[in-house]
A and B are shown apart, each in its own frame.
Chain A
Amino acid sequence: MTSGLPVPSQVGHAGISSLIMDPECSQLLPALCSVLADPRQPVADDTCLEKLLDWFKTITEAGSSLLLLQENPCLLGLLCHVLKPQDLSPRVLSFSLRLAGMLAAQEDCFQYLQQGELLPRLFGEAGPLGGAAWTAPSVRSGWIQGLRSLARHPSALCFLADCGAVDTIFSLQGDSSLFVASAAGQLLVHILGLSLQGPAEGHPGLQTGDWPVCAQKIVSHIEESLRSAATPQITQALNVLTTTFGHCHDPWTQVLWGRLSPLVACLLEKDPVPAAHSLVDLLLSVARSPVLSSSSSGLWETLAQTLSHLSPTQAGPLALGILKLQECPQVLRAQAFAVLLQPLTCVLEATAQAPGLLDSLDGTGGASVTVDTLLPSKAACVGLLCRTLAHLELLQPLPQRPSPWPQAPLLGATVTILRLCSGSATPTSDAGGHLCAFLVGCVRVQRAALDFLGTLSQGTGPRELVTQVFAVLLEYLTSPDSSPTVLKKAFQATFRWLQSSPETPGCSDLDPHAHLFLRELLPVLPKRLCSPCWEVRDSGLEFLTQMIGRWGGQAGFRRALLASEVPELTEQLLRDPESYVRASAVAAMGQLSSQGLRVTPASPEHPGGQQKSLLAELLHILSTDSEGFPRRAVMHVFTQWLRDGHADVAGDTERFVARVLQVASQDLDWEVRAQGLELALVFLEQTLGRPSSHCPYAVTPPVAAPPSSLAQALRPLCRVQLFEFAFRALFDCDRPVAQKSCDLLLFLRAQTASYGGPQGSGSVPEVASVEAALQRWQAGDQGQPLGYLEPEVVVAVLRSMDLEGLRGALAESSDRVEKSPQSLLQDVLATVGALGEDEADCY
């Protein structure tokens, strides 16, 4: 079958190809091809075919496809075989089409396949195109993807023209399978780009009439589609243009847009505007293209016209896109901003807000839109408001956001929306009443508005509005009707607003208004911490942790917090039935304790009883909690305590570290063990005299003077059995733990090198036994402990270990063996049961 194909003349590829495909794979390939070609042995799993294609892609990208074919004639055999009329599965046919396209991407291989007339038979009308297999979307998709890979060189263009593929691609744009339709559109874009790359590149004809036939054909098709009355066809054309202008900024795109823009503009005259979303995408793509936006006359006018023609819902994304543009006329920006703000203007209007707010939102002089037209139904109202708020949230932090930014009206509108949602607003107009009926209890709008309100904290606002913001936040935090997700957002927004409130000069404490707010908030927090809904308890604790982290040192905050029930309740939540809540409680207690805010009054349950120390309580959680989250949280708190020199830790640091490492080493959760290594590293840095650089704001613990000798320096580490922990972690079954331990030991080895004193010596008799034990550990037998190690032994062991080699091995993916092409081929063969011995078993 391959006899008609000429032997390639190129030499020197052999070396490359042998690098690409190892002999084991070459040996397995014929069996694989025969399995694929055999309809009696269906390949059950699509993913292995995809993996095979990925592998072939790697091979063809790295070397010669022609040589690959010649060294593995079975591939050609497979491609020829699938053309025979037979009952071959669509997925194998699709695979073969894609493989053929991949191989033909290289021009010499393309010519080679052309001479055997294999490509026309695969992709032409004689191929699957006309057969029954074409009904399978996977075959159509494979056909397109094959052509997409193939179309890389001028010869391919001629081939496409000759075999009439372009017409088929046109029809596939409307395919019932969305994947096929979308791929067809992208293929058209690719072919258009390819056809204009060569001769047209750099010298785009002023007329598209000078363009290659293939390009002209595509352009005519797009024109025809744009003139069509059918929306799907217009959408297809617009999508092709959007992708073209989005990916290609060659000068020819300018000519193309020049020719097609009048047709696009005509779409705006229709009512309603067809394919509005695609039109918006196209116009934004044009506006973003450096070639088109700079030269295209009338683009800004078209955008302005589009903004005014589209419905508010459709115009929103366009307005946002325009405002995100780096370069854009100021008038258009103003218009876009007015469109974006329209729904909020409506809200303010309907609720009869102070005229000042309205003026600044509606300052562009645009016709004011009434609630009835803009927000006619509940679904429309909710959808539009959510989108508007999300768009504005995206816009707010951008440097190119409109200036002046209407902070006050936006705040006013957002607060009003939140009040309408909670039912606390009292609109006086009918429109306001309708708005209220639409929005009351609407969780979606509440979430969007709270998110945006949080973002608005970045700016300032008039005092009375800020007061209103805090009032509405308090209303949400207090209301029993706030859903858990809304409450979480309300907590987040509250923290952001408190953070942005001006600090009292001199003492960096909260300003008096924020204090007042806090005084009202703190009685609410205990109720939230007692909520039957665990999500609420969790959000409450997270908020508390953030607050303590930010203001834990401030006298005013401390007083207010200590006067509340919050610290006691937080401690109670360490025993919550929900593990997430316990984890958050651990974090919060860690913060409270760090800031000296933990109170230990006699509780009613244990009157007069001695309360457990928090350290003991957290250690208890670390050793007994059945869930990983609280244990991880404890390790984080301990690490932070050690770093900050927490009083409970500083008293007997060695005992603390030894205890924690001992418990952590037995933990089943790898994150706990990894965090144990983090704690070990902090201890190590502190012991060796290197001040921790992780937390520049933390209270710096008293740094020990660098010990004079290495042995002296290492002794505390030996006493806490840090090495036993680290060596055990080095052979951990979870790779991140082993990697971290390896890094820690490498760091330690580097540190020891800077010390003078005794060098590790192999003569120490214990070294051998330690090394033997480590070898057993590596083999999986970690039963035997190392016991106390002398610093000299540690140094000797460290120096004798191939830590770099281990790090290299760990850096490789753990499934590297499973992912190898050889393994893949074996898997495919095994799943279809084609290995020789299995055939014999059939008897």
Chain B
Amino acid sequence: MQCAQIQINYYYVGLWTGHDFHSQFPSFATCSKELKECSGHVFVDSVPEFCLPETELIDLSTVDVILISNYHCMMALPYITEHTGFTGTVYATEPTVQIGRLLMEELVNFIERVPKAQSASLWKNKDIQRLLPSPLKDAVEVSTWRRCYTMQEVNSALSKIQLVGYSQKIELFGAVQVTPLSSGYALGSSNWIIQSHYEKVSYVSGSSLLTTHPQPMDQASLKNSDVLVLTGLTQIPTANPDGMVGEFCSNLALTVRNGGNVLVPCYPSGVIYDLLECLYQYIDSAGLSNIPFYFISPVANSSLEFSQIFAEWLCHNKQTKVYLPEPPFPHAELIQTNKLKHYPSLHGDFSSDFRQPCVVFTGHPSLRFGDVVHFMELWGKSSLNTVIFTEPDFSYLEALAPYQPLAMKCIYCPIDTRLNFIQVSKLLKEVQPLHVVCPEQYTQPPPAQSHRMDLMIDCQPPAMSYRRAEVLALPFKRRYEKIEIMPELADSLVPMEIKPGISLATVSAVLHTKDNKHVLQPPPRPTQPTGGKKRKRASDDIPDCKVLKPLLSGSIPVEQFVQALEKHGFSDIKVEDTAKGHIVLLQEAETLIQIEEDSTHIICDNDEMLRVRLRDLVLKFLQKF
């Protein structure tokens, strides 16, 4: 899971990107009831469990705001909103919420469809876990893993989301403004700008510069950032999506021509739209017009329909189709011509319509639950069939491990349209942030390909990196706050030009601070003495505003001052130098004048007349304004 949190003025803004998923698959029993072995690998036989977002560092109940980047990274939301004491607000775009709901609904449906009574917990005992083979022994925080949430929890979590549109400015407690921008990766996917009047932080996560179905990435608005937090880059930087789509199509065609079936484990939204569009253009050229395409998911229908109604969130080409009017995605035509059929599950209509050879898109891409499990078992034994992995989130070898030995062909065509390092370098050249902050692994080549210097972020100044659970001080200081002046107060100002182009004016006002907004208001008028009423009421207890005294500036030249004193009849004057200035001693009058850089004190014994005389003499040497 990738997550960053930014603290601004004591408010926490969590930027969530996803959850890790650990699940197990039932298989043969060997050492205990919980553990099963299959082709040399040990698996835990349990209801699937999920690894939750990091909570050690952050007390989620203190988080004020969560900004969601895209629908793939909100899958852990119910765990946060429902079980942590979280009381803040969640912001996301409408397609993110709607498609996120579909993904969660599919997940809940898949899990609930095959209820399993027991949850394995014995193996989580640390003494047992460390004896288990990899990857079980390397699993972290196993004690915090939880079972899947329910649909009620999903609904409750989603009800806490406030919908936002691209470029909409949202005030957070007056301290900062946050703005979602199109990130070009998925329908409604966003990058976030978090800015105050003088600072700007951009959070770029899960962005794409490729031309696919969503609205293109808004790069221009990211300019002038003090800090750009960069995460959610492609997981497979060496796989070019275009090449992978080509591989996908070729392998699909070869399999079907030979009479085999193709299984595509996938999410019900996202890349599947692009794949269907590619196939729409390809099937005729490859002579596959008669091959049925099946899309099986509890949310298949909603997903295909939703994609067609979010016109404003689509790329320009697709938007213009809406005005023709035509459906923006060609899968509408595939459905109309019966080339693409969709079903909520493989029971019911599908079983009667099913015709082979065919191509099936279904979930879950982890191969641990969902209808895909049935197809793996149905087609796994024939070498004519092919399973093509397109989702980059899961290791296909791990996904396939419990199904071994397997006769069907396996093709790995991960299609990850998120930024690769070349695109990042172009983006940073374009946007030119003062500082880049990114996870540590982006600042060095992948361990397995240490010579690939091209597979890392290369920018000037070098990116600041962070590790898991590291707290980073962002490289800027808040120096200024903006204060507004009320118009009537501004009217009353009398600026004096002290240098050409620079004017000063004294302001006397009341600084009103509320919700991190600072406003200078005119001071209240001096209260008129209220005749007979002597008793002060509580509401009158505001600071008394006396007649304004002029401000003084300048320094007092001691020698001239002494001369002036002598002129005015003072004699027996002594001057002593002190560390901060001078003391003028009027011995005869038993009076002391202390002159320092920023203050002058006249100390005399209850002789107000004398004090005033002396004060006026001092003031003559100072400028007033």
Contact = CB atoms under 8 A, between A and B. Distances in A.
B285 A577 contact: yes
Given A481-B240, A565-B254, A576-B285, A532 B245 contact: yes
B286 interface: yes
B330 to A, nearest CB: 15
B393 interface: no
Nearest to A378: B454
B289 to A, nearest CB: 10
Interface stretch (A94-102, A177-185, A432-440, A492-500): A432-440
B250 to A, nearest CB: 4
Given A534-B285, A605-B290, A436 B246 contact: no
Interface in A553-579: 565, 568-569, 572, 575-578
A533 interface: yes
Nearest to A436: B451
Given A480-B244, A530-B249, A436 B454 contact: yes
A532 B451 contact: no
Nearest to B445: A433
Interface residues of B, number: 33
Nearest to B240: A481
B598 interface: no
Contacts, number: 83
Which of B254, B284, B422, B454 has the most chain A CB atoms inside 10 A of its CB?
A: B454
Q: Categorize the interface residue count of chain A.
A: 35 or more
Contact of B246 (A433, A441, A533): A533
A527 B251 contact: yes
Contacts of A447: none
Interface of B is mostly: helix
Nearest to B453: A437
B248 to A, nearest CB: 9
Contacts of A576: 285
B6 to A, nearest CB: 32
Contact of B285 (A433, A441, A565, A578): A578
Interface string B402-428: 000000000001000000001000000
B530 interface: no
A423 B238 contact: yes
Contacts of B247: 480, 527
Interface in A451-503: 479-482
A443 to B, nearest CB: 12
A440 B425 CA distance: 15
A527 B284 contact: no
Interface in B484-524: none
Interface of A is mostly: loop
B259 A532 contact: no
A572 B257 contact: yes
Contacts of A437: 452-454, 458
B78 interface: no
Given A480-B246, A532-B278, A433 B253 contact: no
A229 B281 CA distance: 62
B453 A532 contact: no
B253 to A, nearest CB: 4
B282 interface: yes
A416 to B, nearest CB: 13
Interface string A408-430: 00000000000000010111100
A433 B453 contact: yes
Interface in A570-609: 572, 575-578, 604-605
A479 B243 contact: yes
B282 A532 contact: yes
Contacts of B285: 532, 534, 576-578
A530 B286 contact: yes
Given A423-B238, A533-B246, A572 B287 contact: yes
B254 A434 contact: no
B357 interface: yes
B258 A436 contact: no
Given A480-B244, A532-B245, A565 B257 contact: yes
Contact of B452 (A423, A528, A533): A423
A432 B413 CA distance: 29
20 contacts: A433-B453, A436-B451, A436-B453, A440-B454, A480-B246, A481-B239, A481-B243, A482-B243, A527-B247, A530-B257, A532-B245, A532-B250, A532-B282, A532-B285, A536-B246, A565-B257, A569-B257, A604-B258, A604-B259, A605-B287
Interface of A: 423, 425-428, 432-434, 436-437, 440-441, 479-482, 526-528, 530-534, 536, 565, 568-569, 572, 575-578, 604-605
Interface of B: 238-240, 243-247, 249-251, 253-254, 257-259, 278, 281-282, 284-287, 290, 357, 413, 422, 449, 451-454, 458
Given A531-B249, A531-B250, A577-B284, 6 more contacts: A423-B449, A425-B451, A432-B451, A482-B243, A527-B247, A572-B257
